[in-house]
Amino acid sequence: MGMFTWTEKSSAVLSQGGVIGPDERLPWPQTAVMGVQHVIAMFGATVLAPILMGFDPNIAILMSGIGTLIFFIVTGGKVPSYLGSSFAFIGVVIAATAYAGKGPNANIGVALGGIIACGLLYTLIGAIVQMVGTGWIERFMPPVVTGAVVAVIGLNLAGIPIKNMAASNFDSWMQLVTFVSVALVAVMTRGMVQRLLILVGLIVATLIYAVLTNGLGLGKPVDLSVIGNAAWFGLPAFTAPVFTLNAMLLIAPVAVILVAENLGHIKAVTAMTGKNLDVYMGRAFIGDGVATMVSGAAGGTGVTTYAENIGVMAATRIYSTAVFLVAALIALLLGFSPKFGALIQAIPLPVMGGVSIVVFGLIAVAGAKIWVDNKVDFSDNKNLLVAAITLVLGTGDFTLKFGQFALGGIGTATFGAILLYALLNRRPVARN
């Protein structure tokens, strides 16, 4: 079937507990709504990452849409994935630019040069995989390793909503209201409403928040004036890259983390859909690498296959690549429209935090599902220790510094899992 051709399935499939595969889709109106849900799922992290690095969030949204389209085209529309801002770049970008942590990054150009170098290295790795296959990568990253890396991404991000998105006790309670709302929608509803659990739960929680704050004065009220004052159309402020050797050497190694993230993503989707997507692994790496280079050339962050959207797919069991095509086009609109961006940014931070708790938790569970589906034997001390140490390194944000280069929790967990497995796997086989 062609890149833009899907087998249409009726909504009756959903009511019967069915799965919508990558090469299938719901009717376009329902597909469009699912695309909105994926945009909302990626929005919080895709905006937060550039803010932490001093980048322009509007460009990050725009480049996430363009990057997703690039990925869609390079993979022939066969791999369901959304590309958003990668948190793996945060530590190295801050180190390379000496960013103070607030406002625009004055040395953003230097970081962009490093991001492009990273994208180039990532693309070259993808080209090698495309030529010789995935066997060499899978020997270093078997299911026990990829499952741990996927789980760590969710667990490492867990502190963001809990520590940074709840400024008061009221905000914490609203996070609870939000994730309970999502859970109730997931369990108590059926059909399309159930598949839109993130979106519906977010809307319900936002309405409750508005009643309690705007109506009863219990917290910071929802500010709709920002939406009214924002322009319908506006060009983002693009920035040109600057290539310096130190920044490029500092940032380029992040490509290895992106490989592990993408590999884990494809393994997770394979496990969830029952369709082996390994044949597209090299093209997925190339698509992600090219998208990262294009993003860096325009002033955007490095991008990666988004685990948040794995969480949405896991919850909805809709894996149609058509949904991601729609989500990418919506992100393009957001990137060029400050008003649409303001609308989503008007979502109360505690509500977005509650949704993030759900999504990050689903990512962690997706990693565990890789272990279950591949029957990883945890009675084998090798597997047990690789998983145990990796989870704590990532969750605790264990950081190692090599001069100016700082390898944060996701990085130490990723490299730690790969190297520890390689070391322990050298154990001689016992002979009777």
Q: What tokens were used for 432?
A: 């009777």
Residue position matching structure tokens 């006790």? 169
Specify the pLDDT at position 108. Answer: 92
Paired sense of beta strands 303-305 and 83-85, if any: antiparallel
Beta bridge partners of 94: none
Helix (H, G, I), strand (E, B) or coil at 318: strand
Instruction: Give me the amino acid identity at 307.
Output: A
CA dihedral 22, 24, 25, 27 (to 10 degrees): 180
Q: What is the DSSP code string of 101-155?
A: SSSS-TTHHHHHHHHHHHHHHHHHHHHHHHHH-SHHHHHHS-HHHHHHHHHHHHH
Distance (Å, whole) CA 20 – CA 270: 13
Cβ burial of 115 (10 Å; 0-12, 13-18, 19+) is: buried
pTM exceeds 0.75, yes or no: no
> From CA 161, how far away is CA 73, in angstroms rounded?
33
Distance CA 308, CA 380 (A): 31
pLDDT value, residue 349: 80
Task: Give the three-state DSSP class for 83.
Answer: strand
- For 149, counting Cβ atoms within 10 Å of its Cβ (0-12 exposed, 13-18 middle, 19+ buried), the class is buried
Tell me the C-alpha distance between 393 and 407, whole Å: 11
Q: How far is CA 228 from CA 231, 235, 342, 351, 431, in A?
A: 8, 18, 9, 21, 75
pLDDT value at residue 405: 63
Domain boundaries, the chain: 20-375
The amino acid that residue 79 corresponds to is V
**CA-to-CA distance for 417 and 395, rounded, in angstroms?**
13
DSSP H or E stretch at residue 288? helix 281-298
Q: What is the pLDDT of residue 406?
A: 67
Residue 343 has φ and ψ, to the nearest 5°, of: -60, -50
Query: Quick one: pLDDT at residue 432?
Result: 46
pLDDT of residue 237: 77
Where the chain has pLDDT below 50, the residues are 431-432
- At residue 305, the 3 state secondary structure works out as strand
Of all helices (H) and strands (E), which one includes residue 303?
A: strand 303-305
